[in-house]
């Protein structure tokens, strides 16, 4: 299996962020480089942060958002590699920053990036069509197990987050779907609402409109705890009423995708501290609280060791599935 210098990268980053804060400040316009196209989840993530920074005057220099979503976001990380040492290029992604090099030959490796912070976790659920006879996750999984390959699971692209989660569910339960990839979670939601597939693993925001209309229904969420309470979405039920998948009897407790911020390699240590501090201030604003509530994400700010530990654990779990599925490139 391909080896990466993730541990070394994080040790260096941890040392950098542990240094005393210096007087580094951006001296020219800042690029927010986004690993998705306009309107994607990562784009919304970056633009909300940009608006909060501007409103609260957290940075003096102007911020320009650049979308480089090619190659499932790899275009952004290759661009970040080319900006080595330039702390005016701030990179927005997910766990794709450290997972993409496992499944595709790309022009960057994870050590070409410097970790700064994560601000939220995307949750994932099992959804079925609104007219499906299955009202709980265990009943649905049992039906899939009884008819291997007889059910279709929709997801966003191949060898990406949705297919990885589907593979993990299969490994944990013995169920077997036909996985059908689409270009984005919105398309997967449309296909499920139309009854063309049996289920998907979309995050809350991607299926929200269809749930409001009763076209789809959630069975369980892959989170250690239930989602935050909120206003009812459909038929008197809201996000906090959805059982966790562990409650529903599935042996896979958690699957969450971090919303992450990076800098290129070899940037000044105090620049990492500067941006981590800015992002932490963003995470404490009412505007950020409103955003994560509206998108049904879990607010969790991480930097330094906490971020390093999360990434190491997430990388290991995903790498195991990639290896089992034969996706790892040499």
DSSP character string of 181-246: EESSHHHHHHHHHTTSSSEE---HHHHHHHHHTTSEEEEEE-SSSPPPP-S--BTTB-GGGSPBTT
Confidence band for 156, pLDDT divided at 50, 70 and 90:
confident
- Residue 311 scores a pLDDT above 80: yes
pLDDT of residue 229: 87
pLDDT of residue 4: 46
Question: Sign of torsion, CA 22 54 70 256?
Answer: positive
- Residue 286 scores a pLDDT above 90: yes
Cα 6 from Cα 25, distance rounded (Å) = 28
**DSSP H helical segments within the chain, as ranges?**
6-18, 41-55, 74-82, 96-103, 137-146, 161-173, 185-193, 204-212, 269-283, 286-294, 304-325
Confidence band for 15, pLDDT divided at 50, 70 and 90:
very low
pLDDT of 253-262, one tens digit each? 999 999 999 9
Judge whether 227 and 242 are in contact, CB under 8 Å: yes
pLDDT of 158-172, one tens digit each? 898 999 999 999 999
**pTM of structure:** 0.86
Confidence band for 186, pLDDT divided at 50, 70 and 90:
confident
Confidence band for 235, pLDDT divided at 50, 70 and 90:
very high
| Residues linked to residue 125 through DSSP beta bridges, in sequence order | 221
pLDDT of 47-93, one tens digit each? 999 999 999 999 999 999 999 988 888 999 999 999 999 999 999 99
Cα 95 from Cα 159, distance rounded (Å) = 13
Using CB atoms within 10 A of its CB, is residue 10 exposed (0-12), middle (13-18) or buried (19+)? buried
Whole-Å CA distances, 132 to 76, 91, 136, 235, 245: 39, 41, 10, 16, 18
């Amino acid at each position: 299996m391909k080896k990466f210098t993730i541990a070394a990268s994080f040790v260096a980053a941890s040392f950098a962020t542990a240094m005393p804060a210096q007087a580094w400040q951006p001296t020219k316009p800042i690029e927010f480089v986004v690993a998705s196209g306009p309107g994607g989840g990562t784009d919304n993530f970056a633009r909300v942060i940009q608006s909060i920074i501007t409103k609260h005057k957290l940075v003096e220099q102007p911020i320009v958002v650049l979308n480089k979503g090619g190659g499932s976001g790899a275009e952004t990380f290759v661009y970040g590699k080319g900006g080595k040492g330039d702390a005016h290029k701030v990179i927005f992604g997910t766990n794709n920053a450290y997972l993409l090099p496992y499944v595709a030959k790309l022009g960057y490796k994870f050590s070409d990036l410097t970790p700064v912070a994560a601000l939220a976790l995307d949750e994932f659920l099992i959804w079925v069509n609104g007219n499906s006879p299955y009202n709980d996750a265990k009943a649905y999984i049992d039906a899939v197990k009884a008819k291997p390959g007889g059910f279709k699971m929709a997801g966003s692209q191949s060898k990406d987050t949705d297919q990885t989660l589907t593979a993990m569910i299969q490994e944990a339960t013995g169920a077997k779907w036909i996985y059908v990839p689409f270009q984005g979670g919105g398309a997967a939601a449309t296909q499920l609402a139309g009854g063309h597939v049996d289920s998907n693993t979309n995050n809350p925001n991607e299926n929200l409109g269809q749930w409001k209309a009763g076209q789809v229904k959630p069975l369980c969420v892959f989170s250690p705890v239930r989602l935050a309470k909120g206003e009812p979405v459909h038929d008197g039920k809201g996000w906090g009423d959805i059982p966790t998948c562990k409650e529903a009897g599935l042996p896979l407790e958690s699957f969450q995708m971090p919303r992450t911020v990076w800098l290129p390699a070899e940037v000044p240590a105090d620049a990492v501290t500067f941006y981590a501090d800015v992002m932490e201030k963003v995470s404490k604003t009412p505007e950020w609280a409103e955003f994560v509530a509206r998108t049904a994400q879990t607010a969790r700010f991480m930097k330094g060791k906490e971020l390093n530990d999360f990434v190491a654990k997430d990388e290991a779990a995903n790498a195991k599935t990639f290896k089992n599925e034969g996706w790892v490139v040499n």
